[in-house]
């Protein structure tokens, strides 16, 4: 087979190159590792060693004051079988992720489509939608705590104007999570801009062809826009999920997990265990579980993506 021999030839060339035991190669490797050395150090010191340590600490009882004491899977047993707050935090976080991520993606997509329809002032709108996402999270949280004030807040005032009695938002166990979802929607600007770039990459002739075939606006969106945009949607879904599982600042500032732990999100709980109660072992176990959750999420989305992501001209790998 011609193709195989070609591949073999290439690989043998490659091998010969790599095996060159000359001074030249030695120098080349040295230069390569010199450029790589900062990150080799950073990777080991701040990523790989901490992960290994986190696994070790998660198997110990460690209160900072005393040295770690080995307790095997004790932390995990407590977490899964005893600790109700762990389940509460997990539930809250999943609730938030399941509503906030798809809702954000949908609204961002709608915004992007509106932006893409060649109305005047596109760059102004783009900048305006982007602006909230760069407001420091602490400042944004403080502002939203005020905006969501049940009596004198902006949101309930606007709701009252259209005749809807405003909910008590952050003071209610039921409404506090929707309040966080609402807050997260303020930051959809960048997602909309990524979608807009994706939309602008779609070749115009496809729309024209669809139009000639008599497709209406909805059919064009359904059959041209969405399939061609799935790689972008997929990318944002993964990033959004990972981000939603790490929400911290808003919960810390706005509600501190309350009322009745209804906004105790996962990383806030991890922070509380580690840096309020100084249970470093238990917090490490929480960290490892978070790592596994994010890993599993990413893998699931990657695997299922093969069925619904359309890469133009490229077979999904």
Partner 1 sequence: MNTDIYPSKPAKSIPAPSMLQSKRLLNLISKTIIFIILVGAAVLFLLPLVWMISTSLKPKDQIFAYPLIWIPSPPQWLNYVKALNNPSFKFLLFLQNSLYYAVTSTIGVVISCALVAYGFARLRWWGRDFWFIITLSTMMIPYPVTLIPQFLIFKDIGWVGTFYPLIVPNFLGVPFFIFLLRQFFLTIPMDLSDAARIDGANELGIFWHIILPLTRPALITVALFTFLATWNDFLGPLIFLNDGKKYTLAVGLAAFRGQYRTQWDLMMAAATVVTAPIVVLFFFAQRAFIQGITLTGMKG
User: Binders of partner 1 among 59-88, rule CB under 8 A?
Assistant: 64
The single residue among 96, 245, 263, 272 that binds partner 1, judged by CB under 8 A, is 245
Rounded to 10 deg, the angle between the 176-185 and 137-147 helix axes is 130
Backbone torsions φ then ψ of 31, nearest 5 degrees: -60, -45
Q: Which is nearer to partner 1, 100 or 236 (CB)?
A: 236
What gap in Å lies between CA 281 and CA 50, rounded to an integer? 13
Is residue 94 near partner 1 by the rule CB under 8 A? no
Is 90 a binding residue for partner 1 by CB under 8 A? The answer is no
Q: Tell me which residues in 197-216 interact with partner 1 (CB under 8 A).
A: 197, 200, 204, 208, 212
Residue selected from 9, 13, 48, 300 as contacting partner 1 according to rule CB under 8 A: 48
Instruction: Select from 94, 143, 210, 309 the one that contacts partner 1 (CB under 8 A).
Output: 143
Region from 77-85, 90-98, 152-160, 167-175 binding partner 1, contact rule CB under 8 A? 152-160
What does the block give as tokens for 4? 């195989």
Per rule CB under 8 A, is residue 165 in the interface with partner 1? no
- Radius of gyration from C-alpha coordinates of the chain: 26
Q: Is 178 in the site for partner 1 (CB under 8 A)?
A: no
Shortest Cβ 275–partner 1 spacing (Å)? 6
- Count the site residues for partner 1 by CB under 8 A: 102
Residue 184 C-beta: closest distance to partner 1, Å: 11
Contact (Cβ atoms closer than 8 angstroms) between residue 288 and residue 55: yes
Name the β-bridge partners of 60.
70
Buried b / exposed e along 16-34 (16+ C-beta atoms within 10 A): eeeeeeeeeeeeeeeeeee
Closest approach of partner 1 to the CB of residue 256, in Å: 10
Does residue 219 belong to the site contacting partner 1 (CB under 8 A)?
no
Of 157, 173, 213, 312, the residue at the interface with partner 1 (CB under 8 A) is 157
Q: Among 72-80, 194-202, 218-226, 302-310, which window interacts with partner 1 (CB under 8 A)?
A: 194-202
In eight-state DSSP terms, residue 170 is G
Binding to partner 1 by residue 317, rule CB under 8 A?
no
Token digits of residue 50: 């901490």
Residues of this chain, 12-31, that bind partner 1 according to CB under 8 A: 17-18, 28-29, 31
Contact between 261 and partner 1 by CB under 8 A: the answer reads no
DSSP β-bridge partners for residue 69? 61
Residue 296 interacts with partner 1 (CB under 8 A): yes or no: no
Distance CA 28, CA 280 (A): 44
Which residues inside 95-134 make contact with partner 1, applying CB under 8 A?
111, 114-115, 117-121, 124-134
Contact between 188 and 107 under an 8 Å Cβ cutoff? The reply is: yes
Closest by Cα among 250, 248, 262, 114 to 193: 114
CB of 1 to partner 1, least distance (A): 26
**139 part of the interface to partner 1, by CB under 8 A:** yes
Q: Does 41 bind partner 1 (CB under 8 A)?
A: yes
Helix-helix angle 280-308:49-58, to 10 degrees: 120
Q: Could you tell me the two tokens for 255?
A: 């509600």
Residue among 244, 242, 283 at smallest CA distance from 265: 244
Site membership for partner 1, residue 43 (CB under 8 A): yes
């Amino acid at each position: 087979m011609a193709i195989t021999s070609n591949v073999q030839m290439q690989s043998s060339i490659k091998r010969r190159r790599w095996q060159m035991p000359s001074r030249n190669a030695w120098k080349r490797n040295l230069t390569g590792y010199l450029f790589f050395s900062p990150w080799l150090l950073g990777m080991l010191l701040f990523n790989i060693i901490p992960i290994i340590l986190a696994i070790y600490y998660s198997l110990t009882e460690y209160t900072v004051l005393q040295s770690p004491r080995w307790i095997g899977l004790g932390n995990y047993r407590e977490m899964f079988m005893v600790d109700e707050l762990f389940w509460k935090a997990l539930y809250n976080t999943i609730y938030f992720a399941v509503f906030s991520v798809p809702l954000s993606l949908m609204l961002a997509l709608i915004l992007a489509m509106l932006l893409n329809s060649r109305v005047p002032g596109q760059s102004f709108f783009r900048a305006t939608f982007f602006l909230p996402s760069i407001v420091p999270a602490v400042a944004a949280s403080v502002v939203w705590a005020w905006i969501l004030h049940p009596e004198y807040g902006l949101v309930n005032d606007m709701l009252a104007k259209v005749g809807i009695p405003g909910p008590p938002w952050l003071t209610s166990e039921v409404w506090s999570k929707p309040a966080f979802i609402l807050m997260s929607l303020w930051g959809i600007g960048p997602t909309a801009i990524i979608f807009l770039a994706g939309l602008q990459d779609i070749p115009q002739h496809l729309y024209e062809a669809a139009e000639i075939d008599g497709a209406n606006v909805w059919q064009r969106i359904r059959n041209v826009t969405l399939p061609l945009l799935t790689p972008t949607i997929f990318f944002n879904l993964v990033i959004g999920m990972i981000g939603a599982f790490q929400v911290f600042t808003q919960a810390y500032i706005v509600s501190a997990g309350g009322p009745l732990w209804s906004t105790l999100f996962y990383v806030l709980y991890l922070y509380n265990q580690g840096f309020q109660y100084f249970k470093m072992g238990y917090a490490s176990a929480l960290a490892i579980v978070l790592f596994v959750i994010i890993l599993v999420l990413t893998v699931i989305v990657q695997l299922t993506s093969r069925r619904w992501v359309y890469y133009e001209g490229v077979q999904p790998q």
